[in-house]
C-alpha cells in the first residue's frame, strides 16, 4: 500500500491520518457536549418548552410546561395543541404555526389561554420558532410558554384602581364620563333615552371642617353604600370627587328619573349613617337631573352641566330634595353667568386685574424650601382674590385661556429676573393649560422674555396637567422638548387621575412628576393610594426624575411620603399660597409668618 513511499513520508501520512481521526473525535465530543448542554437548558428552563413534530404533536417537553398544564413531561409526549390550548385559541395558534413551517412567518409572539389538566384556563405568553434543518426543512417547531397569571392579576388590579374611586370603590369621574360618552354615542345612533343625576351631600364642607377628614370619609362611604343598594345593576354610579356623585339611568324618561331621584333623597335621609356622631346631624343630599331626550343637541358634557345646574337649584331650595333641568329656565341663567364671567376675564386681561400667589415647595427630607409654585388668582372687588376654579373653565371654552397663560408667563419670568437681580433667586413653577401647549405664540413669548430679562431658565419649571399630556402625547412631548431646549424644566401636574398614564411617561421627557392631591390626601388611610404613590415614585426614580406631592395636609402624610421616597412636598401643612410681597418680602426672603411656619415643619 505504501510501496515506494519513504519512511519519512510515511510518518507524515500516518501523523495526518491520526490528526484527522483525533479532530473528528474531538468534534463529535464537542457536539455531544453542546447537545447535552442544550438538553440541560431545555429541561431545566423556568419557561415551558415543547418541540412540535408532524401534525403539531409534542415530541419533547420540559418540566416547566408540565407544571403549567398539569401533566408530566412524559404524559405530554404525543399530545396535540388542542390538549394544552383553550379551544377558542387553539385554531389561531395552529394557523400561526403552519405559517412558521411554510416560511411565511419568521417568528410568533402572542398571548393566549392554555388549558390545564383540570380544565382551568391559564393566561400565557407564547413564543414559537421553526427549527430548520440543513436542507431548510421546518418540520419541527419550538414552542415556549410563560404563565402570566400573576401579571394579568396585577394588570387587572391596576386597571381597577385606575377606573375606581379609592375611598368608595365606585367608578371615578374619568370612567363615568367615558360611560356617559358611550351611552350618548349609542343614543345618537339608535334613539335618545336616559337621564343623568348629579348628587351633592348637603353641608358636607361644614362637617369636614368641624369634625375632620376621617368623619367626612365615613359620611361619604355611608352615602355610597346607600346609593349602591338603591340603584339597579344596569345603572352607572360614580363618585366624581369630594362630596359629589353621579348616576346614569340608561333607560329612564322624566317620570322614572323623578321616581329614582325622590327615592334616593329619601333613602339617604333615612339610612345614611352620620358617622356615628349625633353632632353632624342627619345626612341629606341635593339631586339635579337632566333627561337626555329633552335636549335639542345632545352631548355628554352638556348633560353633566345641565344636571349640575339643576342640582344647585335643589341646593338653593334648602337641600334634601331634587330639581330638574329645564332648558327655558336654565338657558338664560347659564348664558348670563357665562357672559358675566367672560366680561370679567376680558376686563382683567385689559386692566391687569390678575394676580399671582406663591406656595412654598419643600425638600421632603430636610424641610427646606427649595422652590415655589406660582398660582393664578383674579382680583375681585375690594381687593379680594378669586380662585381659578371660578373662571378658568369659561376661559377655556371661550378661547381666553391662552391669553391668560401669556400673562402668567410674562409675570413669572419678570419676577424671576427681579429675584435674581436682588441675588435671591429661587426656582418657580408655572402652570400652563392644555390648550396653550400647541400655541407657537406662547413658545415664542417664553424665549423672548427669557432673552429680554436675562432670567436664568434653569430656575423656571413649566407644568402641564396629566390629562393634557395623555390626550396628545406627541404635542406634550414637543412642548417639553422646546422648553427644555431653552434650558427650563418640564413637569407633569395632577398625576394620578389615571394610572394607565404611567405607560406614557416613557414618551415624555419630563423632569418632575407632581402627584395629584386627591391621591395624596388619603394615602395614610387607603392602601390603594399608598400603592399607587409607591409605584409612581419607583417609576419616576427609575427614570432618574423627581416626584413632588401636592396638597399635603398633615405631619402623618408628610412622614409617609418621606418614607415612600417622594422628593418634594407642598400643601397647607407647610404654607398657604401667599401674595408675592408676603411670600418673598421686600428683600426676597420669606415673610416672618412664613419663616415661623417653615421652622415648625423642619
Q: What percent of the chain has pLDDT over 90?
A: 41
How much is the mean pLDDT over the chain? 83
The pLDDT-based confidence of 41 (bands split at 50, 70, 90) is: low
Lowest pLDDT segment from 68-82, 320-334, 414-428:
320-334
The model's pLDDT over 404-419, given as tens digits with 9 standing for 90+, comes to: 999 999 999 999 999 9
Distance (Å, whole) CA 227 – CA 407: 45
Phi, psi of 32 (to 5 degrees): -65, -40
Distance (Å, whole) CA 52 – CA 45: 17
- Domain residues of the chain, as ranges? 1-36, 45-147, 178-325, 359-376+399-601
Considering the domain delimited by 359-376+399-601, tell me its CATH architecture: Alpha-Beta Barrel (3.20)
Q: Quick one: angle between helices 527-542 and 555-564, nearest 10?
A: 40
Q: What is the predicted pLDDT for the residue at 585?
A: 66
The model's pLDDT over 271-324, given as tens digits with 9 standing for 90+, comes to: 877 765 555 568 999 999 999 886 667 788 888 888 988 898 888 888 899 999
Phi, psi of 497 (to 5 degrees): -65, -30
| pLDDT beyond 80 at 372 | yes
Show the cell assigned to 393: 373653565
Cα–chain-centroid distance for residue 428?
25
Lowest pLDDT segment from 189-193, 400-404, 545-549:
189-193
Considering the domain delimited by 45-147, tell me its CATH architecture: 2-Layer Sandwich (3.30)
Over residues 339-348, the mean pLDDT reads 81
Over residues 206-215, the mean pLDDT reads 76
Q: What is the predicted pLDDT for the residue at 566?
A: 94
The model's pLDDT over 445-480, given as tens digits with 9 standing for 90+, comes to: 999 999 999 999 999 999 998 878 777 788 888 999
Over residues 150-176, the mean pLDDT reads 85
Cα–chain-centroid distance for residue 451?
36
| pLDDT beyond 90 at 231 | yes
How far from each other are the two terminal CA atoms of the chain, in whole angstroms? Answer: 101
Angle (nearest 5°) at CA 375 between 371 and 377: 155
pTM of the model: 0.55
Cβ atoms of 287 and 324 closer than 8 Å: no
Over residues 29-55, the mean pLDDT reads 72
Distance (Å, whole) CA 335 – CA 314: 20
Over residues 412-435, the mean pLDDT reads 92
DSSP secondary structure code for residue 236 in this structure: E
Residues sharing a CB contact under 8 Å with residue 366, sequence separation 6 or more, in sequence order: 602
Q: What is the predicted pLDDT for the residue at 462?
A: 95
The pLDDT-based confidence of 522 (bands split at 50, 70, 90) is: confident
Of 43-57, 111-125, 207-221, 372-386, which has the strongest mean pLDDT? 111-125
Distance (Å, whole) CA 228 – CA 180: 18
| pLDDT beyond 90 at 328 | no
The pLDDT-based confidence of 16 (bands split at 50, 70, 90) is: low
Q: What is the predicted pLDDT for the residue at 386?
A: 82
Distance (Å, whole) CA 122 – CA 149: 7
Cα–chain-centroid distance for residue 515?
10
The pLDDT-based confidence of 111 (bands split at 50, 70, 90) is: very high
Lowest pLDDT segment from 267-276, 394-403, 515-524:
267-276
Closest CA to 461 of 483, 434, 444, 437: 483
- 178-325: which CATH topology? Alpha-Beta Plaits (3.30.70)
Distance (Å, whole) CA 322 – CA 317: 9
Q: What is the predicted pLDDT for the residue at 597?
A: 34
Over residues 560-580, the mean pLDDT reads 91
Over residues 216-225, the mean pLDDT reads 91
Amino acid at each position: 500500500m505504501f510501496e515506494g513511499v519513504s519512511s519519512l513520508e510515511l510518518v507524515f501520512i500516518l501523523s495526518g491520518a491520526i490528526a484527522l481521526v483525533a479532530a473528528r473525535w474531538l468534534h463529535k465530543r464537542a457536539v455531544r457536549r453542546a447537545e447535552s448542554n442544550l438538553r440541560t437548558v431545555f429541561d431545566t428552563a423556568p419557561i415551558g418548552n415543547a418541540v412540535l413534530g408532524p401534525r403539531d404533536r409534542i415530541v419533547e417537553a420540559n418540566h416547566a410546561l408540565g407544571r403549567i398544564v398539569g401533566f408530566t413531561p412524559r404524559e405530554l409526549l404525543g399530545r396535540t395543541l388542542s390538549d394544552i390550548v383553550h379551544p377558542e385559541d387553539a385554531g389561531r395558534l395552529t394557523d400561526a404555526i403552519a405559517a412558521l413551517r411554510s416560511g411565511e412567518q419568521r417568528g410568533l409572539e402572542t398571548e393566549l389561554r392554555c388549558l390545564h389538566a383540570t380544565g382551568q384556563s391559564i393566561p400565557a405568553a407564547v413564543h414559537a420558532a421553526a427549527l430548520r434543518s440543513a436542507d431548510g426543512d421546518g418540520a419541527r417547531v419550538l414552542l415556549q410558554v410563560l404563565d402570566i397569571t400573576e401579571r394579568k392579576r396585577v394588570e387587572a388590579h391596576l386597571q381597577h384602581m385606575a377606573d375606581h374611586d379609592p375611598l368608595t370603590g365606585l367608578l371615578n369621574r374619568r370612567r363615568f364620563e367615558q360611560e356617559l360618552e358611550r351611552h350618548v354615542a349609542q343614543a345618537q345612533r339608535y334613539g335618545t333615552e336616559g337621564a343623568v343625576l348629579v348628587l351633592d351631600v348637603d353641608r358636607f364642607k361644614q362637617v369636614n371642617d368641624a369634625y375632620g377628614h376621617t368623619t367626612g370619609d365615613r359620611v361619604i362611604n355611608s352615602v355610597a353604600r346607600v346609593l349602591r343598594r338603591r340603584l339597579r345593576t344596569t345603572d352607572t354610579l360614580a363618585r366624581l370627587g369630594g362630596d359629589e356623585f353621579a348616576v346614569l339611568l340608561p333607560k329612564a324618561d322624566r317620570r322614572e328619573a323623578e321616581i329614582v331621584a325622590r327615592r334616593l333623597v329619601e333613602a339617604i335621609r333615612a339610612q345614611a349613617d352620620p358617622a356615628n356622631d349625633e353632632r353632624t346631624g342627619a345626612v341629606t343630599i341635593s339631586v339635579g337631573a337632566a333627561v337626555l331626550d329633552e335636549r335639542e343637541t345632545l352631548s355628554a358634557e352638556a348633560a353633566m352641566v345641565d344636571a349640575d345646574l339643576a342640582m344647585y337649584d335643589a341646593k338653593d331650595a334648602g337641600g334634601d330634595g331634587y330639581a330638574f333641568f329645564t332648558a327655558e329656565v336654565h338657558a338664560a341663567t347659564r348664558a348670563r353667568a357665562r357672559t358675566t364671567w367672560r366680561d370679567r376675564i376680558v376686563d382683567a386681561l385689559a386692566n391687569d386685574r390678575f394676580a399671582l400667589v406663591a406656595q412654598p415647595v419643600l425638600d421632603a427630607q430636610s424641610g427646606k424650601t427649595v422652590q415655589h409654585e406660582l398660582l393664578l388668582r383674579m382680583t375681585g372687588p375690594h381687593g379680594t382674590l378669586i380662585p381659578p376654579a371660578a373662571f378658568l373653565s369659561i376661559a377655556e371654552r371661550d378661547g381666553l385661556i391662552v391669553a391668560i397663560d401669556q400673562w402668567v408667563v410674562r409675570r413669572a419670568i419678570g419676577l424671576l429676573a427681579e429675584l435674581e437681580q436682588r441675588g435671591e433667586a429661587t426656582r418657580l413653577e408655572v402652570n400652563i393649560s392644555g390648550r396653550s401647549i400647541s400655541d407657537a405664540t406662547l413658545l415664542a413669548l417664553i424665549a423672548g422674555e427669557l432673552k429680554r430679562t436675562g432670567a436664568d431658565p434653569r430656575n423656571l419649571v413649566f407644568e402641564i396637567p396629566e390629562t393634557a399630556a395623555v390626550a396628545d402625547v406627541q404635542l406634550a412631548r414637543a412642548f417639553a422638548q422646546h422648553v427644555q431646549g431653552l434650558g427650563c424644566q418640564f413637569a407633569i401636574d395632577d398625576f394620578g387621575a389615571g394610572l394607565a398614564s404611567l405607560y406614557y411617561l416613557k414618551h415624555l421627557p419630563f423632569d418632575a412628576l407632581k402627584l395629584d392631591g386627591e391621591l395624596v390626601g388619603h394615602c395614610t388611610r387607603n392602601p390603594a393610594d399608598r400603592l399607587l404613590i409607591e409605584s409612581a415614585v419607583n417609576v419616576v426614580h427609575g427614570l432618574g426624575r423627581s416626584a413632588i406631592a401636592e396638597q399635603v395636609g398633615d405631619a402623618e402624610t408628610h412622614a409617609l411620603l418621606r418614607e415612600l421616597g417622594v422628593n418634594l412636598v407642598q400643601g397647607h401643612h407647610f404654607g398657604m399660597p401667599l401674595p408675592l410681597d408676603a411670600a418673598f418680602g421686600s428683600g426676597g426672603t420669606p415673610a416672618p409668618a412664613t419663616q415661623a411656619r417653615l421652622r415648625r415643619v423642619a
